[in-house]
Amino acid sequence: MTEEELRYIKGIGPKNASSLKRIGVNSIRELLFFFPRWHVHKSLITKLEAIETGGKYFILGTITGFEELKRPGRNIIKVTIFDGSPEPLTWVWFNRPYMRPLFIKGKKILLYDTVENTRWGRQVTGSNDSFFFLDAFEEKALADGEILAFYKTTKILTNAFYRSVLAGLMKTHLVDITEMLPPGLTAKHELYIMKEAILKIHFPQTLAELENARKRLVFNELLILQLFLAKRKKFLGKKVKNRNYTVSTAVYDELQNKLPFKLTKAQERVLKEIKTDLMKPAPMNRLLQGDVGSGKTIVALLSIITVLESGYQAAVMAPTEILAEQHFNSFKKFFASIGYNKSMLLLTSGMGAKERREAIKDISEGKVEFVVGTHALLQEDVVFKKLGFIVIDERHKFGVFQRLALESKGVFPDALMMTATPFPRALVLTLYGDTDLSVIDELPAGRQPVFTKWQPEKKRAEVYNFIIQRLKTGEQAFIVYPLVEESAKSLLKAAEQEAVQLQNLIFKDFKVGLIHGRLSSGEKESIMEAFKEKKIDVLVSTTVIEVGIDVSNATIMLIEHAERFGLAQLHQLRGRVGRGSARSYCYLITGWVSSSDSFKRMKIMEQTNDGFAVAEADLDIRGPGELFGAAQHGELDFKLIDLKKDRGLLELAREEAFHIIENDPEIIKPENSQIGAFFKERFSQDLEMVTIS
């Protein structure tokens, strides 16, 4: 069923067919699977007066006026929308003068957007995908209590077009939809059959039908993904790494005895899980999850020693140079302190050419046993002699392919991935379902929660005074600016100026330092070193310090423009303090917080120090799509998935998938033939990836 066929469908024609192609719909099947963006029913529409805290709402109203403000280089259009509530809504468009002709008095409009409480009243910032003008038919249908589907439209492809073409296809082509699941399975879990799901996702009669359709389609997605993961897990499980590790307990015991602290129970447990894996014939593939500061590094190091002791090489990859350096230095110091001699090397892209050439040679000849580095490790000419073990710190900062690239430098090396982003378990299963999971769910003794306070701009002086008090006792502070994109020159300048001002006006008696991503690695290293050695009291930083940095004497974290950071990032930043036993503080300074999401984020930060609670809240606020954005799992279609709601479904899909692969690893038995076909279609390329790794 191709584009050719699309144009011959009643109501489509060549022009619409090529428009559909442009948005990625090439066949009748793809059109049937082109799901609505919104489903709207009158019960889902909220009156302006009932909107309390912002968040996304369906709003149905009439345009009652508009005003245009023209300034040099700026254009603001303010549209007034009235829905019968006492106060109208202002819908603001910035720099879109060409939108003006659309805003006609009396037009009916449906919005789905975030309402902000601003000092000018309730306001929605206009954006292209968040509204539709309604025609008389749609208005009536909604008033009559119908559920209306709204699609991704273009000038040519209107909602009316989709509805009418799809209505036709339901009569002529729904029968061609193949069922992926065996009947036993749909019946057992009370899932719609596929035809029903497709019909009801486009034309639900009731909200319950819509929910059932959504559930079935989500189940498909999750099942396919879990099949992939189950297959990969099975594949890796069958591999034989041909390495025997012989742990010399003497060295090991000595190491543990010389640790400056006692491992927590959780660390002990996790270490045991890892060691058990190492002794198995199949390569380890394990994710170590633990909140910021829970002590993952030492667990990795103790595991690595097993491998080094047996004559294999080990590599640790970290996402930033600062972090790689910090690991390198602390591993080295630790080894030296116990007289443990292993040749170590730091590999980053900041190295000189000659230095790098030598390093690479030593690695390939096995002269270097333990390598710590950044992405620089992934370059093709980095070849190991006997790589037995890889550790990827801050796993969520890397993509799937980067991980596979590092893996491919050895023959089925044992892999330990670490992450401080405490995805809820359901997400871990989805994202990393082919890995085993170890969780450090306990912080080292004596840690106190970081006292966290959200402060408005006008309290700034108070906060500074407090910091000065702490500095006087010899403690240190971080001040962070939200310079996520290092290319944002003007912000960088702001951070630089700020550092100078802080030095000259506020922290006159102390030393203020500045660190940011634009500095050379040598410069960064010496600044971090100076901070560790207390030659710097206040370190002004862009978010380069976000991950992993460990300076236990730092007790204060001041985050500027905190509203611009996501929750996970705020929590990570806060984790830079509270690492020693002294009481630590985190101040979040924000400008005027106009969106309710930022408001919620600040409140959650004040309320909890628990990374898992933070992650759950983050999921609530942002939805799974965005969380996954960074995590790179393009395979999953998240439009319909609501992981909060669909956790049960996820567990179910996982169970069924692992069950199928267990009994039918190639997915070829007659009862699975349809699933198998879907699976091959979806993962034709990625399956190669499974087998090369």
For ligand ADP, the closer of residues 310 and 552 by Cβ is 552
Span 240-279, contacts to ligand ADP by CB under 6 A = 261-264, 267
- Shortest Å, Cβ 435 to Mg ion: 18
Q: Which stretch binds ligand ADP (CB under 6 A): 127-135, 164-172, 287-295, 674-682?
A: 287-295
For ligand ADP, the closer of residues 26 and 553 by Cβ is 553
| Per CB under 5 A, 290 contacts Mg ion | no
- How many angstroms separate the CA atoms of 518 and 493, rounded? 11
Specify whether the CB–CB gap between 326 and 549 falls below 8 A: yes
| Per CB under 6 A, 88 contacts ligand ADP | no
Specify whether the CB–CB gap between 482 and 564 falls below 8 A: yes
Q: Which stretch binds ligand ADP (CB under 6 A): 194-202, 290-298, 519-527, 559-567?
A: 290-298
**Closest residue to Mg ion: CB criterion:** 548
| Per CB under 6 A, 294 contacts ligand ADP | yes
Closest listed residue to residue 580, CA positions, set 673, 470, 505? 470
Q: Which stretch binds ligand ADP (CB under 6 A): 18-26, 545-553, 652-660, 683-691?
A: 545-553
Q: What is the enclosing helix (H) or strand (E) of 415?
A: strand 414-419
- Shortest Å, Cβ 542 to Mg ion: 19
For ligand ADP, the closer of residues 421 and 590 by Cβ is 421
Q: Any residues with CB less than 8 A from the CB of 406 and at least 6 apart, and which?
A: 315, 317, 377, 378, 390, 392
- How many angstroms separate the CA atoms of 320 and 348, rounded? 9
Q: Any residues with CB less than 8 A from the CB of 348 and at least 6 apart, and which?
A: 321, 324, 325, 373, 374, 376, 521
- How many angstroms separate the CA atoms of 549 and 530, rounded? 14
| Per CB under 5 A, 513 contacts Mg ion | no
- Shortest Å, Cβ 495 to Mg ion: 24
- Shortest Å, Cβ 294 to ligand ADP: 4
| Per CB under 6 A, 290 contacts ligand ADP | yes
Q: Which partner from the list ligand ADP, Mg ion, none does 8 bind, CB cut-off 5 to 8 Å by kind?
A: none
Q: What is the enclosing helix (H) or strand (E) of 455?
A: strand 451-456
Span 426-445, contacts to ligand ADP by CB under 6 A = 444
Q: In the 8-state DSSP scheme, what is residue 67?
A: E
For ligand ADP, the closer of residues 158 and 608 by Cβ is 608
| Per CB under 6 A, 552 contacts ligand ADP | yes
Among 165, 292, 515, 588, binds ligand ADP (CB under 6 A): 292
Among 550, 637, 651, 664, binds ligand ADP (CB under 6 A): 550
Partner residues linked to 440 by β-bridges: 290
For Mg ion, the closer of residues 319 and 548 by Cβ is 548
- Interface with Mg ion: number of residues (CB under 5 A): 1
For Mg ion, the closer of residues 444 and 548 by Cβ is 548
- How many angstroms separate the CA atoms of 561 and 588, rounded? 8
Specify whether the CB–CB gap between 215 and 649 falls below 8 A: yes
What binding mask, one character per residue, do residues 12-51 give for ligand ADP by CB under 6 A, x or -? ----------------------------------------
Among 54, 482, 548, 624, binds Mg ion (CB under 5 A): 548
For ligand ADP, the closer of residues 82 and 252 by Cβ is 252
Q: Which partner from the list Mg ion, ligand ADP, none does 46 bind, CB cut-off 5 to 8 Å by kind?
A: none
Rounded alpha-carbon distances, angstroms, from residue 661 to 221, 233, 431, 686 = 16, 10, 18, 17
For ligand ADP, the closer of residues 233 and 327 by Cβ is 327
Specify whether the CB–CB gap between 226 and 653 falls below 8 A: yes
- Shortest Å, Cβ 15 to Mg ion: 56
Type of residue at 466: F
Q: Which partner from the list ligand ADP, Mg ion, none does 267 bind, CB cut-off 5 to 8 Å by kind?
A: ligand ADP
What is the layout of strands, in order, in the sheet containing 121-125? 116-118, 121-125, 89-94, 74-82, 56-71, 108-114, 131-133
Closest listed residue to residue 220, CA positions, set 663, 635, 691? 635
For Mg ion, the closer of residues 126 and 548 by Cβ is 548
Q: Which partner from the list ligand ADP, Mg ion, none does 401 bind, CB cut-off 5 to 8 Å by kind?
A: none
For ligand ADP, the closer of residues 437 and 463 by Cβ is 437
Residue 13 — left, alpha, or beta (φ > 0 → left; ψ -120 to 50 → alpha)? left
- Shortest Å, Cβ 209 to Mg ion: 48
Q: What is the enclosing helix (H) or strand (E) of 572?
A: helix 567-574
Among 202, 216, 232, 579, binds ligand ADP (CB under 6 A): 579
For ligand ADP, the closer of residues 110 and 292 by Cβ is 292
- How many angstroms separate the CA atoms of 655 and 226, rounded? 9
Q: Which partner from the list Mg ion, ligand ADP, none does 290 bind, CB cut-off 5 to 8 Å by kind?
A: ligand ADP
Q: At what angle do helices 521-532 and 321-337 cross, to 10 degrees?
A: 50
Tell whether the torsion through CA atoms of 113, 117, 120 and 122 is positive or negative.
Answer: positive
- Shortest Å, Cβ 297 to ligand ADP: 3
- How many angstroms separate the CA atoms of 83 and 73, rounded? 33
- Shortest Å, Cβ 279 to ligand ADP: 24
Cβ neighbours, 10 Å, residue 574: 26
Specify whether the CB–CB gap between 264 and 273 falls below 8 A: no
Q: Any residues with CB less than 8 A from the CB of 206 and at least 6 apart, and which?
A: 147
Q: Which stretch binds Mg ion (CB under 5 A): 40-48, 140-148, 184-192, 546-554?
A: 546-554
**Closest residue to ligand ADP: CB criterion:** 295
Three-state SS at 289: strand
- How many angstroms separate the CA atoms of 356 and 172, rounded? 65
For Mg ion, the closer of residues 213 and 270 by Cβ is 270
Q: Which stretch binds Mg ion (CB under 5 A): 120-128, 510-518, 544-552, 678-686?
A: 544-552
Type of residue at 286: R
- How many angstroms separate the CA atoms of 190 and 210, rounded? 14
Residue 164 token pair: 């009418």
What binding mask, one character per residue, do residues 387-426 give for ligand ADP by CB under 6 A, x or -? ---------------------------------x------
- Shortest Å, Cβ 552 to Mg ion: 13
Q: What angle do CA 484, 488, 494 make, to 5 degrees?
A: 95
| Per CB under 5 A, 319 contacts Mg ion | no
Judged by the rule CB under 6 A, the positions of this chain that interact with ligand ADP are 261-264, 267, 290, 292-298, 420, 444, 548, 550, 552, 579
Judged by the rule CB under 5 A, the positions of this chain that interact with Mg ion are 548
